[in-house]
Amino acid sequence: MQIIWLGHGAFRYAIGGKVLLVDPWLTGNPMLPEDKHDEAVEGATHILLTHAHFDHVVDVLPLAKKHAIPVLGQYDLMAHWQASEGIETIGFNKGGTVDLGSVRVTMVHAVHSSSFGGENGPSVPGTECGYVIEGEGHAIYHSGDTEVMADMQIIHDLHRPDIGVLSAGGHFTMDMRRAAYAAKKFFNFKTLIPGHYRTFPLLEQSAELLTRALPDVEVIEPEVLKPIRFT
């Protein structure tokens, strides 16, 4: 199993013979060189969308069309895209689980916002979410953009994730201090990978605080396109 950071909140999970792209932001992503875009998405089998902000959604439709791969996300938007864009989608909702054979994906709650920009102001296509991805003997909690929330206790109790991938850049999501609090209060991670940071000066630039706060957890500061391998 491999986890690869594509920069910002975008991750690539190679698990159970599947390659899942979560919020694959390529166009304009300052952390992902343009000549590495094809490498970032090579072999992808599914796309998962957590919410509709541009830095998460902008490349979803182009990638789905170019590579003919399904998009997983909230039912309302998926149904609309399937009808209007002609792509394959799998629509479900919070608490629901999609069985991909060797991998199970459960949509879980998050606390953030979700909107598309438009000429007449923002439209709101559903709400924000996170995912628990289970396969190869691991359970990964991909928080998506969120603040600390009591629902994390439910996610822990039902799924017992051993790997946490937490948005921790601050300003728009939890910062490192709050992510450390969430990890200590609600979870028993063996490995923790921060995301949604270092992209812009506005965001946190280091996970040193997270590492110091969680001495019993392997905190891995990811590098773009460098695989993090698990057995």
154-205, pLDDT tens digit by residue? 999 999 999 999 999 999 999 999 999 999 999 999 999 999 999 999 999 9
H helix intervals, the chain: 37-41, 54-57, 60-67, 75-85, 151-159, 176-186, 208-213
Q: Give me the mean pLDDT over the 99-107 stretch.
A: 97
The confidence band for 123, taking pLDDT boundaries of 50, 70 and 90, is confident
3-state secondary structure of 12: strand
Instruction: Give the pairing of strands 228-229 and 89-92.
Output: unpaired
Asked if residue 18 has pLDDT above 80, the reply is: yes
| pTM as predicted | 0.96
The confidence band for 118, taking pLDDT boundaries of 50, 70 and 90, is confident
- CA 166 to mean position of chain CA atoms: 8
183 with 175: CB under 8 angstroms? no
Q: CA-CA distance, 156 to 52, in Å (whole number)?
A: 26
CA angle 125, 203, 30 (to 5 degrees): 75
Contacts of 38 (CB under 8 A, 6+ apart): none
What pLDDT digit, counting tens, does each position of 70-100 carry? Answer: 999 999 999 999 999 999 999 999 999 999 9
208 with 219: CB under 8 angstroms? no
**Tokens linked to 120:** 């007449």
Closest CA relative to residue 164, chosen from 140, 136, 195:
140
% pLDDT > 90, the chain: 94
Longest CA span, the chain: 49
**Tokens linked to 59:** 């490349």
Handedness of CA 20, 50, 62, 224 (dihedral sign): negative
* 2-229 topology per CATH: Metallo-beta-lactamase; Chain A (3.60.15)
Q: CA-CA distance, 157 to 143, in Å (whole number)?
A: 15
Q: CA-CA distance, 165 to 119, in Å (whole number)?
A: 34
The amino acid at 16: G
130 with 110: CB under 8 angstroms? yes
